[in-house]
Amino acid sequence: MESLLALIEQSFNGRYSRHVTEALDELPDSFTITDPSICGHPIVFASRGFLKMCGYSKEEVIGQNGRIFQGPGTNRRSVMEIREAIREERTVQLNLLNYRKDGTPFWMLFHMNPVFSKEDGRVIHFVAVQVPLSGRRSRRSSANFSEDIMFGSCRREVCSDSFLEVDRVLEFNSVPDSDSAGVEIDEPCEASELDKGRVASAINSIMSILTHYSESTGRLVCGKKRSCYGTSVLGSSITISLGRIKQSFVLADMHLPDLPIVYASDAFLKLTGYSRHEVLGRNCRFLSGMVTDPSTLLYIKESIRAERPCTVRILNYRKDGSTFWNLLHISPVRDASGKNAYFVGVQIEEGSCRNQDGDGLSVEMRQRSTVGAVRVALRTLSMSAGSSRSG
């Protein structure tokens, strides 16, 4: 057990900064992180939300395989689909019946996402997010398999060191699907768009934290294999430089799918009411709402597609649901090679045209000044990186 814990320590804390667990513990979501390179594919991190949902302690979960949460009603087809996704190193999302420590079953929307090494593209970890779902129409199945046998098979499967032994255990003890599980369970309600949105938001938050805390060790990770190469990742030096800019702004990476936010200023968080982990990894459209003008959104989309600056007045929504008129300016910024790499979006709430320093600058001048400061920060990063390589 001590050797396993040492491997887990090396797997998780060795890959990321030692402060990563503190940052992950602040997330309210239910999720686990596993390492497929360690024998048995054990859990190396379990969130507080997950432990509360399942009733286990951290010590009871770390080092165990996720199959310990399965039981007599768990659909074998779902288990096989998860296993195939692990083998193929891809994302999977499905409804899954799991069991709490006290034996009560519950349905959840299960989403698993691989974490890749940015250096060589290997799968480092799998992140599994669980969102509880409501059940309906309780029913009892008719098979004659006992719970003790089924739970025992799950435990033996966890202890197996080979996929062959796992297959034998499943083939000998498992039933075709949850319809013949021999226990009373509920059918799951379909996952709503809100449930799926919660999963997407959780994955984005987790990946943002893992990416950020892998920088200090120099062993960078990313969430999509196709995006692991040639993609810029903000380092600590540029984060410090950008942190000196007092205006509300965000930085989005145009090399990544759906233009995710990779940096958000403190002023932006104060203006919108969101925390940093709720923003990073998301597209800026989450600030829009039902009353936001679609023609304005289309104009922004076309400007981004053409990689040209644009300035609009748009109705946006804070986290608490309140609205504000945003004097928004978006502009592309270049990387060290001279090619456009990011979009910077500067937000000024209409009616607050005086900044804290009271310098009396116009809205347009404040927007241009912010874009210029971001460009200087990126240029300084490129120059320092070039000096370190030449030295």
Segment 136-194, tens digit of pLDDT? 544 444 333 333 333 333 433 433 333 333 343 333 333 334 443 444 566 666 788 88
Q: What pLDDT score was predicted for residue 389?
A: 40
Amino acid of residue 347: Q
**Chain segment 79-97, per-residue pLDDT in tens:** 999 988 888 788 999 999 9
* Share of the chain residues as helix, strand and coil, in percent rounded to the nearest 5: 40, 25, 35
Q: Would you tell me the crossing angle of helices 363-390 and 236-243 to the nearest 10 degrees?
A: 150
Which carries the bigger pLDDT value, residue 251 or residue 150? 251
Q: What pLDDT score was predicted for residue 346?
A: 97
361 SS3 class: coil
Q: Band of the pLDDT at 7, cuts 50, 70, 90?
A: confident
290 DSSP assignment: T
Tokens 């007045």 label which residue?
A: 313
Mean pLDDT, residues 199-213 taken together: 92
Closest by Cα among 147, 159, 346 to 263: 346
Which carries the bigger pLDDT value, residue 184 or residue 309? 309
63 DSSP assignment: T
Mean pLDDT, residues 20-44 taken together: 91
What residues form DSSP beta bridges with 222?
Answer: 116
Query: In the chain, where are the structural domains located?
Result: 2-197, 230-390
pLDDT at 236 over 70: no
Number of C-beta neighbours around residue 167 at 10 A:
14
Closest by Cα among 145, 150, 228, 149 to 180: 145
Mean pLDDT, residues 24-34 taken together: 95
The reply to whether 230-390 shares the fold of 2-197 is yes
CATH number of 230-390: 3.30.450.20
Mean pLDDT, residues 122-134 taken together: 90
Q: What pLDDT score was predicted for residue 205?
A: 93
Minimum mean pLDDT range among 223-227, 263-267, 295-299: 223-227
Q: What pLDDT score was predicted for residue 164?
A: 36
Across the chain, mean pLDDT equals 79
What CATH class is the domain 2-197? alpha beta
Q: What pLDDT score was predicted for residue 232?
A: 43
pLDDT at 358 over 80: no
Q: Band of the pLDDT at 377, cuts 50, 70, 90?
A: confident
